[in-house]
């Protein structure tokens, strides 16, 4: 469990009411699906995690295609959330400021670990479509 979220759970006896916990749950589930798409080299699966027309989705798909073109995949990719702050939330939309980094992952077939990732601040906009949270946009934020 992420350190900040663990602290939030200790300080708040009703964590389900905290919007940051709900946002972290949404982001974790999304990251698990993204990791599975990268592990399988599944371009369509990765594209399906983003709203149509999402620049972030186009960039992620282009990066996956480039890795596949070199015969590479990434297995076990895990993203660590270092901080989560909800800007706004409705039943169908989340706007979240996060600081995250990729902490685990290995390159297949070499087995090499992914290079160390530095924490990066982003503002994410997610929309719920047919019960699934999709990324609409990712913008760099000043940390």
Question: What is the CATH topology of the domain spanning 3-140?
Answer: Nuclear Transport Factor 2; Chain: A, (3.10.450)
Distance CA 140, CA 100 (A): 12
Per-residue pLDDT averaged across 69-80, rounded? Answer: 94
Tens of pLDDT along 5-39?
444 444 454 545 589 999 999 999 999 999 999 99
* pLDDT for 13: 47
* pLDDT for 17: 57
Tens of pLDDT along 83-123?
999 999 999 999 999 999 999 999 999 989 888 889 999 99
Task: With beta carbons less than 8 A apart as the criterion, state whether 49 and 37 touch.
Answer: yes
| Nearest in space to 25 (alpha carbons), one of 5, 41, 55 | 5
* pLDDT for 114: 87
Distance CA 113, CA 44 (A): 25
Distance CA 127, CA 95 (A): 9
Distance CA 140, CA 29 (A): 21
Give Cα 59 distance to the centre of its chain.
14
Q: Delimit the domains of the chain by residue range.
A: 3-140
**Average predicted confidence (pLDDT) for the chain:** 89
| Nearest in space to 56 (alpha carbons), one of 138, 124, 141 | 138
Query: How many other CB atoms are found less than 10 A from the CB of residue 87?
Result: 13
Task: With beta carbons less than 8 A apart as the criterion, state whether 35 and 77 touch.
Answer: yes
Residue 53 has pLDDT above 90, yes or no: yes
Distance CA 124, CA 86 (A): 10
Per-residue pLDDT averaged across 53-69, rounded? Answer: 96
């Amino acid at each position: 469990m992420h350190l900040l979220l663990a602290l939030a759970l200790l300080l708040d006896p009703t964590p389900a009411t905290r919007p940051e916990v709900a946002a972290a749950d949404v982001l974790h589930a999304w990251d698990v699906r993204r990791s599975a798409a990268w592990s399988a080299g599944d371009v369509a699966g990765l594209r399906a995690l983003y709203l149509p027309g999402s620049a972030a989705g186009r960039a992620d798909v282009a990066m996956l295609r480039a890795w596949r073109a070199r015969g590479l995949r990434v297995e076990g990719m895990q993203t660590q959330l270092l901080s989560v702050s909800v800007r706004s939330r409705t039943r169908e939309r989340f706007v979240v400021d996060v600081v995250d980094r990729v902490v685990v992952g290995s390159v297949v077939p070499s087995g090499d670990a992914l290079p160390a990732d530095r924490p990066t601040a982003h503002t994410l906009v997610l929309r719920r479509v047919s019960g699934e949270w999709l990324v609409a946009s990712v913008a760099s934020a000043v940390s």
